[in-house]
Structures are given as structure tokens and as C-alpha cells.
Amino acid sequence: MVSLVRPAELDDASAIARVHVATWRSAYHGLLPDDFLASLSETHYEERWRRTLGDSSARIYVAENVDGVVGFASGGPERAGESGYAGELYAIYVLEDAQARGHGRRLVQAVVGGLREVGLEDMIVWVLRDNTAARGFYERLGGVYVRSQPITIGSAELEEVSYGWKSLSDVRY
């Protein structure tokens, strides 16, 4: 199957927003409140992504197949002052129907390349504690559990955990 990962462009904002909202709804069903997931708006996220694509220091990539954009990922400098980590995988989402076909691995590869380009040599990622599928993915890629902390999303009080790679060469594809 045709499959490509490439840097995102401004014109990808609507496709990224579509994947963002659809994947949040499928991946976070049962983890986040139904009314919160129902309230997510593609138009709102399209505007946010347009701004991010226009002026952020983040490296953003999309995965495409014959149907168009089916996934995206972003990364850049670590955002919260976590000691020991300078780089961060901010987000990675692949449409449910396109999962388990290697898009996630290729997106991580692209983000790792982007982090290296800006001189970052390690990577941390935060994931909901109960998102066992994504945790399995990060563990498969060699991520090492770092710590957990509370997070509020909408009205939900949850726990998130982090995985780290002390060196980008530790990412196991």
C-alpha cells in the first residue's frame, strides 16, 4: 500500500484537525467524558493547527495513504521543564482504521529526525495512564517509564504517565 510520511504544510490543517477529532473520539472513548468528546470541533482544531503550523517551533509530520492524511505527529523542545529531557514527542494520532500498519512507527521516525535537526538528543512523551494501547506502543519502541502526574482534561481528573528515551538512538523501531 502507498504510504508516506512528510512534513506537514499549512494546507494540512483541516486534514490534521479531522484526524485529531476522530482519533480522540475513538481512542479516548471510555477514558474521557462522552460530552467532552462530542463537543470537540474540527473547525476549532483546524484554526489551532493552522496557527501552530504557521508559527510554532514544533516539527509536525503527516502520514498519508491513498485515502489522504491518516495520521500526524509533532515534537520539539520539552515544554514543562522535566529534568533530564530536552526533547518531547508532543502528539501522535493515527486514524483507527489505519492503525497497526506501521504509520505510527514511521511518524515517530520522522519526529526523531526532526528533533535531531534542531539539536535535541532525547525524548519524553506523556500518555494517559489508562491508554494501555499507546503505552504498549511506546514500550515496544523502547520507552522507559519515567513518572506519573495528575492531568485535567475537560471536567475529568485523570492521571498521565511519561516514557523517556535518554538517547534518540535508544528508540527501537
Interacting residues toward ligand COA by CB under 6 A: 23, 27, 92-94, 99-105, 127, 131, 133-134, 136-137, 140
Q: What angle do CA 23, 157, 42 make, to 5 degrees?
A: 30
Q: Do residues 103 and 63 touch, judged by C-beta distance below 8 A?
A: yes
Report how far residue 124's alpha carbon sits from residue 90's, in angstroms, rounded to the nearest whole number. Answer: 9
Q: Which is nearer to ligand COA, 92 or 112 (CB)?
A: 92
CB of 171 to ligand COA, least distance (A): 11
For the bound state, the minimum distance from the C-beta of residue 138 to ligand COA, rounded and expressed in Å, comes to 8
Could you tell me the smallest distance in angstroms from the CB atom of residue 76 to ligand COA?
Answer: 15
Using the minimum distance from each CB to ligand COA, give the nearer residue, 101 or 116. 101
Helix (H) or strand (E) holding 152: strand 144-153
Which helix (H) or strand (E) covers residue 24, if one does?
Answer: helix 13-27
Could you give the C-alpha distances from 22 to 49, 70, 100, 119, in angstroms and in order?
15, 10, 17, 33
The residue ranges of DSSP E strands in 28-143, in sequence order, are: 59-65, 68-77, 87-94, 123-128
Cβ closest to ligand COA, residue 54 vs residue 135: 135
Provide, rounded to whole angstroms, the least separation between the CB of residue 93 and ligand COA.
5
Nearest distance from C-beta of residue 106 to ligand COA, angstroms: 7
Residue closer to ligand COA (CB basis): 33 or 102? 102
Q: Which is nearer to ligand COA, 53 or 106 (CB)?
A: 106
Query: How many Å apart are CA 156 and CA 125, to the nearest integer?
Result: 20
